Amino acid sequence: MHLHLAYPAVLAALLFCVGVYGVLARRNAILVLMSVELMLNAVNLNLVAFDVWLRDSLHAGQALTLFTIAIAAAEIGIGLAIVLAVYRNRGSSAVDELRDTAESAAEEPDPAQEPRQAKPSQKAEATA
Amino acid sequence: MSPAAATAATAAATAESHGFLSPTGVEIAFLLVGLVTLGAAVITVTTRQLVHAALWLVVALGGLAVEYLLLTAEFIAWVQVLIYVGSVVVLLLFGLMLTKAPIGRSPDADSRNRPVALAVALLAAAALVWVVVDAFRTTVIDLDGAAQGSTDVTGSILFRHWVLPFEALSVLLLAALIGAIVLSRKKAAEDTTASPATDPHEDAPTPEGDR
């Protein structure tokens, strides 16, 4: 019984690109976290496939996959805590409304959530 | 996909005994489950209903667990089911609920740079698939013999060769736990009556924090 290495490799590449699209296109921070999970899973599939192909005696790929899964669980916990803190302070979890450190403040004047006193300093930085 | 298909065809011509045109049962199963996984992932990143995205993520992650089983990595498959499907998706659903995600269709689920994201993703997919197929079109994984990822093997190598990273990872998990508690606890000035320091359930983000 055999399996071409191209199948898991191509599936992992496509899943990673789906995750890239989700990270770039989604607006809700929790959906961005879901896309990050998809990217991490694509990397895990690559690690497992190459570990099985190479028949590594240390099974480094599988050990690294377990570590990646644990780190992803920690990452999702911290990420959700940050998203909840942002939501509590701003009343929104949309990533493109968090524009306090944006370079150009003239692009889109945003309602109520943004601190107004940040604008003169930003203008000063932009002209300097 | 046309250069990928072309290179796959040439690979089928060059591979002497195992071609892409005579797939084995494992390859057919891998392909079908892979199509389901990829479709679920695409729906996850494109649907406008936020809760449905989390539920389609369950399908994608479960499909990946089946792929791990087909690659004879049993232990990782069950860890995937336990941690991802069991806890990460539940955490994501909790996050959606606590941020008051709208039930039903939300028209602003995608940001304005969606065409740019689509272009970047398609370019990256074309480049990666081309390179990967070109590199590995004649490489074959031999799945005969003992399973390489059974619990016996994985436990043995994990506690024989990878003990120090394993313990360091437990320290990292502890740090992440403490960090999540610190981030999600309320300020002491906000409620002096509730005495949040003695609340045993404060690691779970409470819905009172959203008010």
Return the DSSP state at B101.
P
Residues of B in contact with A73 (CB under 8 A): 83, 87-88, 173
Q: Do B109 and A63 touch (CB under 8 A)?
A: no
Among the listed ranges A19-28, B32-41, B64-73, B199-208, which one has the minimum average pLDDT value? B199-208
Which pLDDT tens digit goes with each residue over B40-79? 999 999 999 999 999 999 999 999 999 999 999 999 999 9
Residues of B in contact with A58 (CB under 8 A): 157, 161-162
The rounded mean pLDDT for chain B is 83
Evaluate if residue B209 carries a pLDDT over 50.
Answer: no
| Closest Cα in chain A, distance from residue B81 (Å) | 11
Task: Tell me how crowded residue B31 is: count the other CB atoms within 10 A of its CB.
Answer: 13
Residue A25 touches chain B, beta carbons under 8 Å: yes
* Identity of the residue in B45, B99, B176 whose CB atom sits nearest the CB atom of A78: B176
Among the listed ranges A61-65, B1-5, B32-36, B46-50, which one has the minimum average pLDDT value? B1-5
The owner of tokens 């065409």 is: B115
By C-alpha distance, the chain B residue nearest A76 is B88
Give residue B144's pLDDT: 86
Evaluate if residue B197 carries a pLDDT over 60.
Answer: no
3-class DSSP state of A4: strand
Give residue B4's pLDDT: 55
- Ramachandran category for residue A102: left, alpha or beta (phi over 0 → left; psi -120 to 50 → alpha): beta
Give residue B124's pLDDT: 96
Q: What percent of chain A has pLDDT over 90?
A: 61
Q: Do A14 and B38 touch (CB under 8 A)?
A: yes
Task: Tell me how crowded residue B107 is: count the other CB atoms within 10 A of its CB.
Answer: 7
Distance CA A99, CA A104 (A): 9
Give residue B206's pLDDT: 44
Helix intervals (H) in chain B: 2-14, 25-46, 50-70, 74-79, 89-98, 114-136, 151-160, 163-184
Which pLDDT tens digit goes with each residue over B74-118? 999 999 999 998 899 999 999 999 888 888 788 777 888 899 999
SS3 content of chain A, % helix, strand, coil (to 5): 70, 5, 25
Among the listed ranges A47-61, B8-22, B48-62, which one has the minimum average pLDDT value? B8-22
For chain B, how big is the Rg over CA atoms in Å? 23
Q: Do B210 and A84 touch (CB under 8 A)?
A: yes
Which pLDDT tens digit goes with each residue over B150-189? 999 999 999 999 999 999 999 999 999 999 999 888 776 5
Residue spans per domain, chain A: 6-97, 101-128
Give residue B110's pLDDT: 84
* Identity of the residue in A24, A38, A69 whose CB atom sits nearest the CB atom of B44: A38
Domain A6-97 has CATH 1.10.287.3510: yes
DSSP states of B176-203 as a string? HHHHHHHHHSPPTTT-SSS-GGG-TTTT
Instruction: Specify whether the CB–CB gap between B11 and B20 falls below 8 A.
Output: yes
Evaluate if residue A127 carries a pLDDT over 50.
Answer: no
Instruction: Specify whether the CB–CB gap between B129 and A113 falls below 8 A.
Output: no
Instruction: Specify whether the CB–CB gap between A30 and B49 falls below 8 A.
Output: no
Instruction: Specify whether the CB–CB gap between B41 and B60 falls below 8 A.
Output: yes
Instruction: Give Cα B185 distance to the centre of its chain.
Output: 28
Instruction: Specify whether the CB–CB gap between A88 and B210 falls below 8 A.
Output: yes
Name the token pair of B42.
């695409």
Residue-range domains of chain B with CATH:
2-143 (1.20.120.1200), 162-188+196-211 (no CATH)
